[in-house]
């Protein structure tokens, strides 16, 4: 069955009605889930074949007491889970009991299959997402384990126990993988709480057994720039203007959401450590878990002086009660082996911004409070025990009060705080803004109108077509005494009438361009459509800033990011090809033809081609009626057979990351002018090693 769905086109700004398959949202969910990343979190050197010669139990990993030290220290999630499950089954069997496993959020059924191979008598595997549950049924059957694993397509809180229930009896082993970067963000606590009350025995074994959350207090101007608007200096001739943020923005606690990033890519000199690593709290999953709000306060002595601005946080999980089988998300500067850190994109590290920065002195006694509800964690720094206790009783989750954090995401804050970027805009604007200029800015929450006014423009208008951006920019203009100097228009460009511009013609059309609806670089081409829509309000000799944009690309080889789309095939000895096929089908549904936005600074790569200009867009002219199209090829710098280096140009590494062979996927990184990079995924369609890759780019004017 087909359904019609309204979808906003970020490039044109129009809502388009498209005919979609009734399961299109399932396909999108699967394609964007990065399930493959979780399956690739494994030890490539530890396989069923390497276990068998030393351990006779078929397809069963050794227990922690049997595992060689290098493998015991390996920080691969799937191996750790396998070890923990084997140990839990052994403990239950050692007590003379049958091992009945409850696997919540089973996904592919991998953990349940591990449990059966470790000796479990029966497994109940719960998966709420129907396409995933259907795939798990097929995967379990493919591996010949259907007689011992029952897939239950329900939310775990809806599962029943009893003769006519989903489960015949309560389980005595609880296995889950319900965690996200923040540990509890996927609802782990309520799920555990319900399971202990209704689905598992009182003295159950849990894998993982416990989780521990760590924090470290730091000063970091770079990270703080992702949260607050700094004073911005505008040099105009002999004068210098300083743009200030409103007091409401200065005092705002910020967005309540955690900022999860690949902290291992942040240079050590980007932050100053102000505390040791602090153990904030632990959750024992083998006992009754409570999801009600809680506050954990830790007293500590600061190890340095500076501005306390940011809390860096991560967690680890112990798969067994003794803590011998541990999986850690620790960043490189505190990791036991910084040169051998397992890459993950599903579990990273957390950046929490304090509600306000605090000056601290070395050896000062401080109190860090980690507060949580059932889904989120947030931090407060206190200087007295009384304040710490008070924060426990007033533990409301912080909410943005200034609206800037609703309009601007973290990278956007960093962009606006880039003084070098502002200086370049000022230098360019000096060439086009005159004392008789009538300027119109089309960007969301841009500071260009202020720059144009500081440079002496006669009149400045700015279009803010959302209520949030309209209110925010008015506050910023008022804080800088510009509320009477810059006119804010809350309209879409195509609805503009002469009266909105005081019946004046625009001589300078400005844009960064930046729009909050833009997910990919070329979505910012909305400016081109907006420029076309306001053409009647422009002077014949209009100056458009910027005059043009260009789309560039380069073929790159990623050190790790390729894993999120790479087929897994077999995982810890289990055939998961069905999962690979499901992801491929969903990608082929639409996502394979669309680019993915990624913050590429977090993902090391090296170039396999020279940068190449693909398209140019002349903003001085209206959008052409015909479709823009370009085709060509990219020459690889060096291509060789699998097993030898593939290129000699590197961005971040002195050693080859991957080997190009038949079926490998190459990724392109197109960028539109200075916008955020994105990815296009191209697959090789043959087993040969061509020197050129054919490419086609299209831009449709709908």
User: Contact at 8 Å (CB) between 569 and 105?
Assistant: no
Whether 68 is in a domain gets the answer no
Residues 351 and 229 in one domain: yes
Distance of CA 577 to the CA centre of its chain: 26
Alpha-carbon distances of 428 from 236, 407, 448, rounded to whole Å: 12, 26, 11
What pLDDT band is residue 310 in, cutting at 50, 70 and 90?
Answer: very high
Distance CA 213, CA 188 (A): 14
What pLDDT band is residue 203 in, cutting at 50, 70 and 90?
Answer: confident
Whether 293 is in a domain gets the answer yes
What pLDDT band is residue 661 in, cutting at 50, 70 and 90?
Answer: very low
Residues 597 and 663 in one domain: yes
Would you tell me how many other CB atoms lie within 10 Å of the CB of residue 338? 12
In this prediction, residues 232-254 reach a mean pLDDT of 91
Instruction: Supply the pLDDT for residue 133.
Output: 95
SS3 readout for 43-74: CCCCCHHHHCCCCCCCCCCCCCCCCCHHHHHC
- In the predicted structure, residue 572 carries a pLDDT above the cut 50: yes
DSSP 646-669: --S--SS-SS------TT-EEEE-
Alpha-carbon distances of 442 from 445, 449, 529, 666, 701, rounded to whole Å: 9, 10, 11, 36, 20
Strands 365-372 and 294-301: antiparallel
User: Contact at 8 Å (CB) between 477 and 450?
Assistant: yes
Alpha-carbon distances of 149 from 101, 146, 279, 300, rounded to whole Å: 9, 5, 38, 48
Instruction: Supply the pLDDT for residue 42.
Output: 58
Cα angle at 222 between 455 and 259, to 5 degrees? 115
Instruction: Supply the pLDDT for residue 348.
Output: 95
Q: 629-643: buried (b, 16+ CB within 10 Å) or exposed (e) per residue?
A: eeeeebebeebeeee
Residues 473 and 587 in one domain: no
Q: Which regions of 177-245 does DSSP assign to beta strands (E)?
A: 200-207, 210-219, 232-236, 239-243
Distance CA 699, CA 702 (A): 9
What pLDDT band is residue 49 in, cutting at 50, 70 and 90?
Answer: very low
Whether 295 is in a domain gets the answer yes
Residues 367 and 438 in one domain: no
In this prediction, residues 420-435 reach a mean pLDDT of 95
Q: Which regions of 477-627 does DSSP assign to beta strands (E)?
A: 486-489, 506-510, 538-545, 548-553, 555-558, 570-571, 574-575, 596-597, 605-607, 612-618
Instruction: Supply the pLDDT for residue 10.
Output: 56
Encoded tokens for 443: 């960007």
Which one is predicted more confidently, 137 or 5?
137
- Out of 546, 571, 591, a domain closes at 546
Q: Would you call 628 exposed, middle or buried from its count of C-beta atoms within 10 A (0-12, 13-18, 19+)? A: middle
Closest CA to 583 of 127, 34, 151: 34
Residues 682 and 589 in one domain: yes
Distance CA 397, CA 373 (A): 8
Whether 673 is in a domain gets the answer yes
Residues 152 and 226 in one domain: no
**Alpha-carbon radius of gyration of the chain:** 28
Which one is predicted more confidently, 359 or 384?
359
- Give me the number of domains the chain comprises: 5
DSSP 365-385: EEEEEEEE-SS-EEEEEESSH
What pLDDT band is residue 8 in, cutting at 50, 70 and 90?
Answer: low
What proportion of the chain, given as a percentage, has pLDDT over 70? 78
Q: Quote the domain boundaries for residue 186.
A: 77-207
Least confident of 110-114, 423-427, 687-691: 687-691
CATH of the domain at 530: 3.40.50.150
Alpha-carbon distances of 224 from 266, 273, 307, rounded to whole Å: 13, 14, 10
Whether 49 is in a domain gets the answer no
Instruction: Supply the pLDDT for residue 385.
Output: 74
- In the predicted structure, residue 507 carries a pLDDT above the cut 60: yes
Residue 69 annotated among the catalytic residues of the structure: no
- In the predicted structure, residue 502 carries a pLDDT above the cut 70: yes
Which one is predicted more confidently, 226 or 631?
226
What proportion of the chain, given as a percentage, has pLDDT over 90? 63
Alpha-carbon distances of 522 from 92, 244, 596, rounded to whole Å: 57, 31, 12
Would you tell me how many other CB atoms lie within 10 Å of the CB of residue 302? 19
What pLDDT band is residue 398 in, cutting at 50, 70 and 90?
Answer: confident
Instruction: Supply the pLDDT for residue 61.
Output: 41
- Out of 399, 434, 460, a domain closes at 399
Distance CA 201, CA 650 (A): 54
Q: What is the DSSP letter of 264?
A: G
Whether 54 is in a domain gets the answer no
Residues 337 and 358 in one domain: yes
User: Contact at 8 Å (CB) between 631 and 623?
Assistant: no
Instruction: Supply the pLDDT for residue 76.
Output: 85
Residue 96 CB-half CA count within 13 A: 0
Encoded tokens for 178: 């319900």
Give residue-wise pLDDT tens across range 520-571: 878 889 999 999 999 999 999 999 999 999 888 888 889 999 888 888 889 9
Least confident of 60-74, 94-108, 172-186, 337-351: 60-74
In this prediction, residues 481-496 reach a mean pLDDT of 95
Distance CA 90, CA 319 (A): 13
In this prediction, residues 203-224 reach a mean pLDDT of 97
CA dihedral 606, 75, 271, 560 (to 10 degrees): 20
Residue with tokens 């082996």: 337
SS3 125: strand
Q: Which helix (H) or strand (E) holds 6?
A: strand 2-8
Least confident of 221-235, 262-276, 358-372, 584-598: 584-598
Which one is predicted more confidently, 457 or 606?
457
Distance CA 699, CA 628 (A): 5
Residue 610 annotated among the catalytic residues of the structure: no
pTM (2 d.p.): 0.85
- In the predicted structure, residue 449 carries a pLDDT above the cut 80: yes
CATH of the domain at 689: 2.70.160.11
Residues 627 and 486 in one domain: no
Mean pLDDT over each residue of the chain, to the nearest integer:
83
Instruction: Supply the pLDDT for residue 54.
Output: 35
Residues 531 and 583 in one domain: no
Instruction: Supply the pLDDT for residue 622.
Output: 94
- In the predicted structure, residue 32 carries a pLDDT above the cut 90: no
In this prediction, residues 239-266 reach a mean pLDDT of 93
Residue 111 CB-half CA count within 13 A: 30
Residues 334 and 395 in one domain: yes
Distance CA 589, CA 591 (A): 6
Residue with tokens 């490998």: 664
Residue 233 CB-half CA count within 13 A: 8
User: Contact at 8 Å (CB) between 9 and 15?
Assistant: yes
Give residue-wise pLDDT tens across range 67-113: 444 444 445 899 999 999 999 999 999 999 999 999 999 999 999 99
Q: Which helix (H) or strand (E) holds 163?
A: none
Whether 65 is in a domain gets the answer no
In this prediction, residues 596-620 reach a mean pLDDT of 89
Distance CA 439, CA 223 (A): 33
In this prediction, residues 210-230 reach a mean pLDDT of 98
Instruction: Supply the pLDDT for residue 53.
Output: 33
Residue with tokens 């993915």: 596
Instruction: Supply the pLDDT for residue 9.
Output: 56
Encoded tokens for 113: 């299959």
Residues 491 and 374 in one domain: no
Would you tell me how many other CB atoms lie within 10 Å of the CB of residue 698? 10
Closest CA to 127 of 108, 100, 113: 108
Instruction: Supply the pLDDT for residue 347.
Output: 93
Q: Which of 20, 29, 186, 596 is catalytic?
A: 186
- Out of 546, 574, 602, a domain closes at 546
Residues 556 and 681 in one domain: yes
Distance CA 536, CA 494 (A): 10
- Angle at which helices 130-142 and 24-31 pack, to 10 degrees? 70
Whether 540 is in a domain gets the answer yes
């Amino acid at each position: 069955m087909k359904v019609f769905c309204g979808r906003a086109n970020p490039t044109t700004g129009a809502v388009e009605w498209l005919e979609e398959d009734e399961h299109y949202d399932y396909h999108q969910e699967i394609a964007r889930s990065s399930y493959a990343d979780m399956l690739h979190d494994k030890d490539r050197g530890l396989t069923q074949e390497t276990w068998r010669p030393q351990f006779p139990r078929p397809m069963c990993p050794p227990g922690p007491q049997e595992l060689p030290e290098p493998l015991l220290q390996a920080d691969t999630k799937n191996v750790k889970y396998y070890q923990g499950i084997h140990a839990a089954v052994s403990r239950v069997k050692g007590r003379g009991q049958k091992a009945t496993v409850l696997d919540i959020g089973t996904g592919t059924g991998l953990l349940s299959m591990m449990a059966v191979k470790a000796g479990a008598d029966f497994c109940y595997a719960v998966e709420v997402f129907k396409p995933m549950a259907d795939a798990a049924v097929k995967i379990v059957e493919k591996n010949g384990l259907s007689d011992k694993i029952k897939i239950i397509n329900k939310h775990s809180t809806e599962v029943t126990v009893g003769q006519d229930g989903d489960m015949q009896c309560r389980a005595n082993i609880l296995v889950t993988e319900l965690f996200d970067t923040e540990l509890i963000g996927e609802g782990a606590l309520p799920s555990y709480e319900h399971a202990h009350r209704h689905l598992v025995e009182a003295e159950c074994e849990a894998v993982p057994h416990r989780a521990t959350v760590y924090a470290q207090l730091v000063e970091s101007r770079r990270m703080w720039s992702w949260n607050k608007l700094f004073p911005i200096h505008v040099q105009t001739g002999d004068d210098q203007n300083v743009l200030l943020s409103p007091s409401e923005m200065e005092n705002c606690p910020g967005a309540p959401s955690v900022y999860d990033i690949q902290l291992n890519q942040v240079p050590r000199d980007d932050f100053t450590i102000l505390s040791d690593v602090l153990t904030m709290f632990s959750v024992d999953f083998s006992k009754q878990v409570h999801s009600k709000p809680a506050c954990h306060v830790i007293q500590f002595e600061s190890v340095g002086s500076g501005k306390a601005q940011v809390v860096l946080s991560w967690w680890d999980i112990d798969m067994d009660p003794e803590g011998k089988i541990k999986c850690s998300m620790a960043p490189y500067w505190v990791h036991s082996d910084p040169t051998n850190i397992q890459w993950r994109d599903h579990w990273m590290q957390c950046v929490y911004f304090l509600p306000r920065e605090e000056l601290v002195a070395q050896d000062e006694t401080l109190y860090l409070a980690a507060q949580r509800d059932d889904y989120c964690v947030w931090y407060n720094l206190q200087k007295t025990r009384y304040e710490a206790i008070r924060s426990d009783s007033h533990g409301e989750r912080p909410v943005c009060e200034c609206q800037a954090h609703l309009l601007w995401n973290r990278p956007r804050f960093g962009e606006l705080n880039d003084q070098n970027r502002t200086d370049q805009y000022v230098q360019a604007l000096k060439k086009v803004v005159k004392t008789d200029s009538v300027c119109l800015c089309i960007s969301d929450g841009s500071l260009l109108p202020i720059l144009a006014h500081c440079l002496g423009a006669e009149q400045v208008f700015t279009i803010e077509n959302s209520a949030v951006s309209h209110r925010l920019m008015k506050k910023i203009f008022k804080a800088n005494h510009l509320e009477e100097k810059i006119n804010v228009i809350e309209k879409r460009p195509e609805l503009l009438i002469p009266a909105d511009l005081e019946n004046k013609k625009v001589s300078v059309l400005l844009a960064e361009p930046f729009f909050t609806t833009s997910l990919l670089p070329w979505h910012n081409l909305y400016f081109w459509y907006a420029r076309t829509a306001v053409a009647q309000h422009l002077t014949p000799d209009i100056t458009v800033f910027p005059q043009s944009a260009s789309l560039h690309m380069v073929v790159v080889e990623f050190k790790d990011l390729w894993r999120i789309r790479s087929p897994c095939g077999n995982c810890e000895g289990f055939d998961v090809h069905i999962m690979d096929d499901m992801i491929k089908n969903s990608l082929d549904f639409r996502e394979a033809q669309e680019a993915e936005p990624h913050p590429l600074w977090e993902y090391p790569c090296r170039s396999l081609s020279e940068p190449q200009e693909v398209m140019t867009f002349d903003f001085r002219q209206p959008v052409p009626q015909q479709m823009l199209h370009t085709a060509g090829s990219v020459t690889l710098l060096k291509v060789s057979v699998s097993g030898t280096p593939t290129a000699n140009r590197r961005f971040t590494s002195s050693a080859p990351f991957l080997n190009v062979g038949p079926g490998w996927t190459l990724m392109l990184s197109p960028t539109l002018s200075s916008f955020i990079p994105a990815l296009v995924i191209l697959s090789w369609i043959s087993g040969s090693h061509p020197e050129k890759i054919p490419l086609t780019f299209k831009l449709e004017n709908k």
